[in-house]
């Protein structure tokens, strides 16, 4: 089963456009877990169990594990998700962007070591930085396109005078991903929820690609505007919320609060798509 097959299946089964991002910060863990990096797995596994029937994907961010020497806990978490939620695809948020043999090793890390179904990539070095990931049949790769941070304008909103029509850089990335780079139908794009107009523009340029849309919740993205801008019958959207779900409560009710936050976000997204 390919990543896209899993994604469509999870969307239908769980009636959801919601992706829960797994970004564990030990200092923000609730109750007795707080400050203990050895409990990252326990926290994330509980979040997965509380929300696995509400989401279309999970997105662990590798830096939150590696910074605390918790890669072994990430491996355990990936295994747990396979058992607890085998129908939900896993997007490893790594934003890798190297080339050649280094990119091959990063692809091996994402797909063989951790067993992810998809990975996030930075396309700044061109197709060379993407191709090694496409050697894994059925796996997905999401390219940074129009990110939600203000500094994204520094490059993404610049015009390319050397390209016909002088598109903005993010527009060029969208066209390449929809067209010549997408040799095996494995690519998607990352577009921030804080820029609904740009989501709509990316969807126009890449009508069939899945869009991974972070920024709903703690980052201020509007769920309804995001869905209106990006959702179509041909092009799926995966709307990520991390902190608003993970840290919905720091009390004893943190699991229930995380589930309630995920339910509310899923409901808002579904209402927006009608």
Q: How many Cβ atoms from other residues are within 10 Å of residue 137's Cβ?
A: 8
Residue 22, token pair as written in the block = 């797994």
Using CA atoms of 83, 214, 218, 222 in order, give the dihedral in degrees to the nearest 10: -120
- Buried/exposed code over 146-170 (b: 16+ C-beta within 10 A; e: otherwise): bbbeeebeeebeeeeeeeeeeebbb
Rounded Cα–Cα distance for residues 210 and 140 (Å): 10
Residues 6+ apart with CB under 8 A from 38: none
Q: Hey, which residues are catalytic here?
A: 95
Instruction: State the DSSP string of 152-179.
Output: GHHHHT-B-TTSTT--BHHHHHHHHHHT
């Amino acid at each position: 089963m390919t990543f896209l097959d899993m994604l469509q299946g999870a969307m239908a089964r769980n009636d959801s456009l919601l992706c829960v991002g797994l970004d564990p910060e030990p200092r923000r863990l609730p109750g007795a877990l707080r400050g203990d990096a050895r409990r990252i797995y326990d926290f994330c596994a509980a979040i997965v169990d509380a929300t696995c029937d509400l989401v279309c994907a999970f997105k662990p961010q590798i830096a939150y594990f590696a910074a605390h020497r918790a890669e072994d806990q990430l491996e355990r978490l990936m295994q747990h998700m396979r058992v607890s939620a085998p129908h939900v695809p896993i997007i490893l948020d790594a934003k890798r962007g190297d080339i050649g043999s280094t990119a091959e090793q990063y692809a091996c890390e994402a797909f063989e070591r951790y067993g992810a179904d998809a990975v996030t990539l930075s396309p700044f070095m061109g197709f060379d930085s993407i191709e090694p990931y496409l050697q894994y049949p059925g796996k997905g790769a999401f390219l940074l396109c129009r990110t939600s941070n203000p500094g994204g304008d520094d490059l993404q909103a610049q015009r390319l005078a050397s390209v016909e029509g002088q598109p903005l850089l993010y527009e060029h990335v969208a066209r390449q991903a929809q067209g010549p780079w997408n040799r095996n139908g494995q690519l998607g794009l990352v577009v921030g929820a804080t820029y609904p107009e740009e989501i709509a523009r990316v969807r126009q340029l890449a009508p069939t690609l899945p869009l991974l849309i972070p920024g709903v919740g703690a980052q201020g993205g509007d769920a309804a505007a995001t869905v209106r801008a990006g959702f179509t019958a041909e092009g799926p959207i995966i709307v990520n919320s991390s902190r608003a779900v993970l840290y919905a409560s720091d009390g004893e009710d943190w699991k229930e609060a995380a589930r309630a936050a995920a339910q509310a976000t899923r409901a808002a997204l579904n209402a927006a798509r009608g």
